[in-house]
Amino acid sequence: MAESHGGAKAPATDAHTEADGGHHAGAFPPFESSTFASQLVSLAIFFVLLYVIVSKLALPKVGGAIEARQNKIEGDLAEAQTLKDQSEAALKAYEGELASARSRAQAIGNESRDKANAQAEAERKTLEDQLAAKLAEAEKTIASTRATAMSNVRGIAADAAGTIVQQLTGVVPDTASVNAAVDASLKG
Amino acid sequence: MKIDPIHQFNIEPLFTLGHIGNHTIAFTNSSLYMLVAVAIISILMLASGSQLVPGRLQSVAEISYEFVASTIRSTAGTEGMKFFPLVFSLFMFLCVSNLVGVIPYTFTISSHLIVTVALALLVFFTVLIYGVAKNGLKFFKIFVPHGVPGYILPLVMFIEVLSFFLRPVSHSVRLFANMLAGHIALKVFAGFVAMLGFSLGAIGWVGGVLPLALTISLYALEILVAFLQAYVFAILTCIYLNDAIHPGH
């Protein structure tokens, strides 16, 4: 393979050299020193040009775009965080408000219930007092009526006892002793 | 059927620019492809818009930016970002020109040793001058590794100095040789297809299938190599710059 390759190469190079007007004396092109100066000059020109374009224009532009995107993303994230915090704060405030409203409602309910209870209690008390007063009055009336009745009963009993003793003995008993005897039996 | 795998590397003067001493300075096909590379990079980086949501071209530009930036940060640290324009220019120049060079009938700038040597020396002197300017004599601590026993130190220093001065050689030859060899291999295998077809007729057409398959797979490999060698050149540049920024590591 190497021979056939070498054999094919040699005449081709010759043919090329002839066609080219003898610029390349058949040397291996990368080692042909006559082309070095041209290559170095063009490399210097174009590499410096590239360096200037890259350092002054390209990298600031692309780097700026990347940085702008980074900043935008970070800004958006920060904004989202702020909004989230705000909504959480609002939720917390709402829940606090709800809880306080609930406790206030409970307090109002308790207060009105207590008030109603107290009023009912007071009314009951006055009613009981009135009833008690009426009861006491009634008892007093009963007691006086009873006492009156009892004193009447004593008179009747003394009269009856005197009459009974007169009927049995024919002697009119002494009023004082009859009374004493009636009192003793009433007491007994 | 003639196969000339070397023809693709010829420098053809297109017009003469002037003379320096007894050298003729010409605008060559190499110059043209340098111009093409610079134009492609400029279009990619400048005409791609700065939208908040990037389009395709802008995505490519931003991926290139981030890729080179992260390469520098990971190898030379944040201080290495000083050299971002240099590394970015080197990487994009080589990557674009190598990828353009893979297209048939085009010229590959980095297949010429003089170009890769010039770029490698640019990096070498940047490292040397910046390293000495920033760190003074402490820069030369890179030749004295830590934890080496005294009796072996002269030998280690000799090797370190030698390897430091051979850096531009390996740096440039790696790129040059990869591009050159890849393109020659591609041309040779592609040439076999035509050669078999023309010389053996129908049998040759059938026989040409194997070199054709090889050409296709080599072509894919060459596209990878074109990118990879540009990346290797850029990452070595970062590693060398790291020595200038942080000597004694």
Residue A150 placed within a domain: yes
- A-contacting residues in B 32-51 (Cβ below 8 Å): 34-35, 37-38, 41-42, 45-46, 48, 50-51
Say yes or no to pLDDT of B228 above 90.
yes
Please state the rounded mean pLDDT for residues B230-241.
95
What is the band of A175 on the pLDDT scale with cuts at 50, 70, 90?
Answer: confident
Q: What pLDDT, in 10s, does the model give residues B151-164?
A: 888 898 899 999 99
Chain A residues closer than 8 Å to B89 by CB: 47, 50-51, 54-55
Q: Which residue of A has its CA nearest to B21?
A: A37
Residues of B (99-118) whose Cβ lies below 8 Å from A: 109, 111-115, 118
pLDDT (average), residues A11-35: 56
From chain B, the residues in CB contact with A69 under 8 A are: 52
Nearest neighbour of B114 by CB, restricted to A24, A40, A53: A40
Domain with B14, as residue range(s), is 7-245
Query: Given this model, what pLDDT does residue B93 score?
Result: 96
Q: What pLDDT shows up at residue A164?
A: 86
Tokens representing residue B46 in the block = 């400048």
Over 90: is that where the pLDDT of B219 sits?
yes
Smallest CA-to-CA distance from B92 within B247, B231, B246, B238 is with B231
Q: What is the pLDDT of residue A158?
A: 82
Task: Note whether A8 and B7 are within 8 A (CB).
Answer: no
Q: What is the DSSP string of A40-107?
A: HHHHHHHHHHHHHIIIIIIHHHHHHHHHHHHHHHHHHHHHHHHHHHHHHHHHHHHHHHHHHHHHHHHH
Inside any domain, residue A119: yes
In chain A, which residues have their Cβ closer than 8 Å to the Cβ of B23?
Answer: 34, 37-38
**Residue B245 and residue B102 in contact, taking contact as beta carbons nearer than 8 Å:** no
Rounded to a whole number of angstroms, the distance from the CA of A81 to the nearest CA of chain B is 21
A75 chain-B contacts, CB cut-off 8 A: none
Closest residue of A to B68, CA-based?
A: A59
Is A149 a domain residue? yes
pLDDT (average), residues A80-86? 96
Residue A20 has pLDDT above 80, yes or no: no
Residues above pLDDT 90, as percent of chain B:
58
Nearest CA in chain A to B5: A9
Tokens (6 digits) for B6: 């070397």
In terms of pLDDT, which residue wins out, A184 or B118?
B118
Mean pLDDT, to the nearest integer, of A134-155?
88
Residue B191 at interface with chain A, using a CB cutoff of 8 Å? yes
Q: Distance between CA atoms of A14 and B2, rounded to whole angstroms? A: 11
pLDDT (0 to 100) of residue A6: 37
Of residues A12 and A36, which shows the higher confidence score? A36
Q: Give the Å distances, CA to CA, from B234 to A80, B172, B240.
A: 41, 12, 10
Nearest-angstrom CA–CA distance, B97 and B112:
12
Query: How confident is the model at residue A102, as a pLDDT?
Result: 95
pLDDT for the residue B150? 82
Evaluate whether ipTM surpasses 0.85.
yes
Residue B2 within any structural domain of the chain? no
User: Taking a contact as any Cβ pair under 8 Å apart, which residues of chain A between 15 and 34 contact chain B?
Assistant: 15-16, 20, 23-24, 28-32, 34
Query: Which residues of chain B are within 8 Å of residue A61 when distances are taken between CB atoms?
Result: 45-46, 50
- In this model, does residue B221 exceed pLDDT 80? yes
Highest mean pLDDT among A23-32, A171-180, B141-150, B219-228: B219-228
Verify whether the Cβ–Cβ distance B65 to A66 is below 8 Å.
yes
Nearest to B44 by CA among A58, A65, A46: A58
Residue A50: inside a domain, yes or no? yes
Average pLDDT, rounded, for chain B? 90
Interface test with B, best of A13, A17, A46, A53 (most B CBs within 10 A): A46
Instruction: Answer yes or no: is B42 within a domain.
Output: yes
Residue A17 lies inside a defined structural domain of this protein = no
Element (H, E) at A152: helix A59-169
pLDDT at A127: 95
At residue A188, the pLDDT reads 65
The CA distance from B135 to B208, in Å, is: 60
Instruction: Please indicate, yes or no, if residue B1 is contained in any of the structural domains.
Output: no
pLDDT of residue B145: 79
Least trusted range by pLDDT, from A62-66, A165-169, B63-67? A165-169
A101 Cβ under 8 Å from any chain B Cβ:
no
Which residue in chain A is spatially nearest to B46 when comparing CA positions?
Answer: A58
Closest Cβ opposite residue A30 in set B20, B89, B180? B180
- A121 part of a folded domain: yes
Cα gap A110→A104, rounded to integer Å: 10
The residues facing B222 across adjacent strands are none
Amino acid letter, B81: M
Q: Does residue A74 belong to the interface with chain B, where contact is any CB pair within 8 Å?
A: no
3-state per-residue secondary structure call for B51-113: CCCCCHHHHHHHHHHHHHHHHHHHHHCHHHHHHHHHHHHHHHHHHHHHHHHHCCCCCCHHHCH
Calpha distance B112→B6 (Å, rounded): 12
pLDDT (average), residues A11-37: 59
CA distances (Å), origin B77, targets B20, B74, B84, B132, B244: 42, 6, 11, 19, 12
Pairing type for strands B23-28 and B13-20 reads: antiparallel
The answer to whether B34 and A56 have CB atoms below 8 angstroms apart is no
Q: Which of A1, A13, A41 to mutate to test the interface with B (most CBs of B within 10 A)?
A: A41
How many structural domains is chain B composed of? 1
B239 belongs to a structural domain: yes
User: Is the Cβ–Cβ distance between B175 and B232 less than 8 Å?
Assistant: yes
Kindly state the average pLDDT of the residues B11-37: 88
B49 within domain boundaries: yes
Count: domains in chain A: 1
Give per-residue pLDDT as tens, B116-149: 999 999 999 999 999 999 888 888 888 887 887 8
Residue ranges making up the domain that contains A70 = 36-187
Tell me the per-residue pLDDT of B161-195, one tens digit each, with 9 for 90 and over: 999 999 999 999 999 999 999 999 999 988 888 88
Q: Judge: B51–A65 Cβ closer than 8 Å, yes or no.
A: yes
Query: What value does the mean pLDDT of chain A take?
Result: 83
Size of interface A-B (CB pairs under 8 A): 160
